[in-house]
Structure formats: C-alpha cells, structure tokens
Structure 1
Amino acid sequence: MQSPRNVLTPESLSMLQAIAQTGSFAAAARHLGLVPSALTYRVRQIEDALDVLLFDRSARQARPTQAGAELLREAARLLQEIDTVAHRVQRVATGWEPQLTVSVDGAISPGTVLDLAEAFYALAPPTQLKLREEILTGTLEALTSGRADLAIGVAVNTSNVAGVQLGLLGEVAFIFTVAPHHPLAALPEPLTDATLLGHRLVAVADSAHSGRVSMGLLGGQDVLTVDSMQAKVQTQLRGLGYGFLPEPMARPYIAAGHLVTRRVARPARNVRMYCAWNGAAQPVGGRALQWWLGQLQSPTTQAALLENHPMQAHRMAAGV
C-alpha cells in the first residue's frame, strides 16, 4: 500500500476535482483522456492509502463523501498554493528579492511608511515585506547585523561602517516639551541642568543589542524608560516626566495645548536623518530595494516621513 504522501500529488488532486465537477468517473475519464478503468484504479489507490471512501458509487453520479468533500476543499487550497509558489519563483527569477526587511526609526512617520508599503504591494511583487521599529542606534544595527536590508531614520554617524550607503532624508529639530500641568511648565526660563536634575526624564530605550546609547541623561537623575516614541509622547502628556521630542511629532499636541515647549540652557538639538543600505551606491540587483530607494529620493516622501505625525488619541490626567 502506498503512503498518502505518494498518492496525493497535484495530478491526483486535479483528477479528483474533475470527478467532482463532471459528476461521474466516465465523464472525468473522457475529460482527462484516460480509460475509465485506469481512473477508477487511481482513485482506489488514494482511498486505500487514506483508508477512506472518497466517492459514493451507489448512485449514477459520483458524489463525494464527507471525507471526499474535505479532501476536495484542501485540494483546491493546495493547488492554488502551488500556483502561487510557481508564480513567486518566476518573479524572483526576474530580480525580485524573496524578502525585504526595513528597519524604521521611531521618529519616522509610521503612516507614511505604511503608505509606501501600500504602494509597494500595488505592484504585486513576489517579495515578502517585513517592517520593524527600532530606536536610536538600533535602527542602523539592524542593517549592519543583517537583520534588515534597508534602514529609514538613521541618526548616528556611519562614517566608520564599511559598505553602508546613505541617503539624506532631512533634518529634524528636537524640542523640550512638558505637559502644561508639569512643574517645569511654570518655572522661569531658560531651564538649567541643575533645575532639570530635580525632575524625572522620559527616555526611549535604545533598541540596539550592543553599545546602547542614551541621550540627554544627567548623572543621578530619575529616569522613566519606555520602548517607543509613541509611548514617550503619551508618558509626557500625562506629566510623568519631561523630554525632548521631534518637533513634527510634538507639533499637533502643542497646537492643541496638551504640551508646552520650554527653553533650556542647552544648545539646540537638530538631527540629520538618513536612509541607509548595504552595498554599492547605485545597487544593480534587488528590485524591491531599488523601488524603496527610488521612493526615498522624492522630496515629498522625505518630508512626509519626517513631518507627517498626526495627533494620536490619549487620556489626559484627571482634572486637567
């Protein structure tokens, strides 16, 4: 007796579909160019291997049994998957990557990244897309460690990283913000480091696996650490601490009166943001990567990635 794996071939599944569609073994045999006895023999081989009856032969028409109907449902799915795999392989042979992983810094507009993903999928590429959020040096580390193929929002020096190519997205100002009910909102400006030391800082954890970077910390200071820029915004809205936010991200909350800006004694902090990828400055392979790099050259896309930060829903502190 043959095993189910040996008899459940794409050809045999198509044969079972033909029987169900034509309603009889004889009609299916004519459709497939087989003699009826040969088709009947093949069906019995499948039934013996599965130890089930697939068709009720008591009537004039060959009607699938309950087990046969289940196998036919799975057959339709499996045959469709085979066609999909074949199509994907053919497309990959034309230069599309099987998978493209993009690491996106938390300061980058997630909505704009999803807009790009939507436009990418409109091409019906065979490439599977993976998006991962990173923070600070983790955005670049995902690229250099091989966990990502493209990094968007790199804000660290890469001059000593061999083989990494950069494309400038623009410059982002980081501004000091607190909730209007936070004690620092009422103190005279500029706020000195000595004043800030007495209050809690909200920091975003660097997602790098090694050599993590912390920005704006003072020795001995109380720090509340969160794992994303959105969590940092929400924490500051509640007045749980102060911190520096990308100006485009803070802008809608400032306009709504949910955050206020304060001058500090420190120098202004403006950060250049880049996209980064491995390889030649003009990549010749990888059509998915080429498409994304082409989009990232658009000034409109660059501005949207840095600026498009709508206000997210939040819950204000009681009584505020």
Structure 2
Amino acid sequence: MHPAITLDALRAIDAINKTGSFAAAAQSLYKVPSALTYTIKKLEEDIGATLFDRSKQRAVLTPAGKLVLEHGREILHATSKMVDAVSQLESGWEKHIRIARDTIIPSTVLFDVLAEFTQLKQQVDVTVSVEALGGGWDALHSQRADIVIGASGELPKGMFHTYKIAQLTFIFAVPPEHALARVDGPIEAEHLHDFPSIVVADSSQYLPVRNSGLFNSKQVITVNNMDAKVEAQRRGIGVGFLPLHFAQPLIDSGALIQKACAIPRPNQDLYIAWNKRQEGKAFDWFIDKLCQANWQI
C-alpha cells in the first residue's frame, strides 16, 4: 500500500462519502474537522489527485475518489477480518460481530438477544445496522454484515445458510379521513393514480437494487425505513401496502383503516442468513439464539 494511504485516510474518505460533509464525517469519527481536512488534503497531494469536489454543498467524490474508496473499502474489510481472525485464534471469540436487521423487522427481539449476550461478559463488540429490501443480501455479499435478520426475495445459491423465521403479510390501509377510505368495494389500480405512493429505498451498495410493492401513482416518495413509511401513510401523505405487524396497532387504534385491494401483494418469506464459511463462538451463539427467537411477525 502506498505510504500516503493510511487506514485513517481510508476511514475518512468512507465517512465523508457516507455523511456528505467533512464536518459530519469528523463528528462520526470523533475528530476535529481541521484534522480530517488535513488528512484528505495531504493524501490528495501525495497521490497527485483530487478526491472530492468541494464546489457543491455536499462533498462529492471525483472519479479518482470513487476508485480510491472502492479499493479502500476492500482494504478496510480485509484489515478488520485480519484483526478478528487473530483475536479469534487465541480465544475462539471474535473481536467484533456485525448484525444487520431489515427495516421490516422490529428491533425489540434483537435487543432482547443483545441484552442476554452482554451478560456473557465476553469482550466482543457488536455492531447493529439496518438494511432494506435487497440490502441484506448485499450486506452479506460485501461482508459489512456477518448475520442478516429479515432477508427476503430470491435466495442466492450456494453462498449462504438461511433459516426461515416468518412469513410476512401485507395489507392496504389508509387513514379514515383519506379519500380512498370512502371507496366502496376493493381499491382498484385506477383509484391510486391521483395519490403519491410511499416506498422504502433499497439499501444495496453493490448488488442491483430491488423495488417492492410499486404501482402507477401520481408521484413516488422514497423513505429510508419502514417506520417512516408507516408514519407518512398514517398522515395521509401517500399510500401503499404495509406489513400487517406494523399496521395492526394503528388499525386497532383507529388511526388506519384496512381496505381490500385488487392489486396483488403476495406474502413474503423472511430469513436469517449468514455466510457458510463464518465461524466463531459469538457467531454460533447469535445464530442459535436468533433462530430460536419468536420474531412476533
């Protein structure tokens, strides 16, 4: 690796790309902005290329910056894996385990499992992240997650183990004051043309993105998690299908009304998934507990 390209510099580039600004990236890395700015400026001088376009409100990677980030993420992943492997070789317990939860999965059960894990008093760091749609498979594929909860859609062949935890049911629901609440009979496709649809964005970074539950509508409003989608539909901002376990409490309270819909929205199987080559005591512990848990879906 070129002596100018340090792990700190690669982490800085990754953080700036994710947060969109030097100031926000510095905060996420617990650094002062001037130190982060110096790190990037020195790297640019040493390799002779500009990594970020600073002329816009949001820091945007240049083509050279994209190339450095792409290879840099591979280096960061490999370094993390190396540190984990050395630690695991000595004790059998990993230094770090990463669990990704699909936004369609409530966090309560996972936090119960995490609380139990902390009682083991093992020095294993745990990172919990959130993915959406194809993002779970993408997280496993890119090795940014060791275990994914709520993976769905077509199952990749050969690479991962899976364990089915639930079958997801979708319903169509609107607030009682919404115009569609007054429609007699099932909601037809033509009823939806005049209303925005609310969709959750796919969080994939490397694999092709997926779309879910789309129909012809006035406009599409994209949010980044299921809680935001439910809230937008509760307010009547837009319409769409909702997972029954998210919608049922609002239906019970009268905040939403379930409506029959002629547009098909099939049930969806949800899985816990992990890489077949993964091993370690913490990993085995989590797989056992997560597969036994009642996910209440």
Task: Find the aligned partners of 1:219 and 1:211 in 2 and give their Cα distance.
Answer: 22
Aligned-residue CA RMSD (Å)? 1.8
Task: Find the aligned partners of 2:117 and 2:89 in 1 and give their Cα distance.
Answer: 15
Stretches of structure 1 lacking an aligned partner (at least 5 in a row): 1-88, 308-320
CA contact (8 A) 1:135 1:206 kept: yes
Report the counterpart of residue 282 of structure 2 in structure 1.
288
Q: Number of residues paired by the alignment?
A: 211
Name the SS for the 2:98 alignment partner.
strand
Question: Match for 1:193: what amino acid?
Answer: A
Question: Match for 2:179: what amino acid?
Answer: P
Report the counterpart of residue 164 of structure 2 in structure 1.
168
TM (norm. structure 2) is 0.67
Tell me: CA distance 1:109–1:220, structure 2 relative to 1, closer, same or farther (3 Å).
closer
Report the counterpart of residue 246 of structure 2 in structure 1.
249
Select the residue among 102, 109, 113 that pairs with 1:112. Answer: 109
* CA drift at 1:190: 1.0
Query: Do structure 1's residue 262 and structure 2's residue 256 form an aligned pair?
Result: no
Question: Match for 1:230: what amino acid?
Answer: D
How do 1:1-320 and structure 2 match up within 5 A?
Answer: 93-160=90-157, 162-209=158-205, 210-219=207-216, 221-279=218-276, 285-298=279-292, 301=293, 303=294, 305-307=295-297
Task: Find the aligned partners of 2:214 and 2:182 in 1 and give their Cα distance.
Answer: 22
Task: Find the aligned partners of 2:102 and 2:116 in 1 and give their Cα distance.
Answer: 20
Name the SS for the 2:254 alignment partner.
coil
Stretches of structure 2 lacking an aligned partner (at least 5 in a row): 1-85
Task: Find the aligned partners of 1:232 and 1:97 in 2 and give their Cα distance.
Answer: 36
* CA drift at 1:245: 1.2
Residue identity over aligned pairs, in percent, reads 32
Task: Find the aligned partners of 1:268 and 1:111 in 2 and give their Cα distance.
Answer: 26
Name the SS for the 1:194 alignment partner.
helix
CA contact (8 A) 1:201 1:242 kept: yes
* CA drift at 1:129: 0.1
Tell me: CA distance 1:293–1:200, structure 2 relative to 1, closer, same or farther (3 Å).
same
Tell me: CA distance 1:261–1:214, structure 2 relative to 1, closer, same or farther (3 Å).
same
Name the SS for the 1:254 alignment partner.
helix
Larger radius of gyration: 1
* CA drift at 1:219: 4.2
* CA drift at 1:223: 1.1
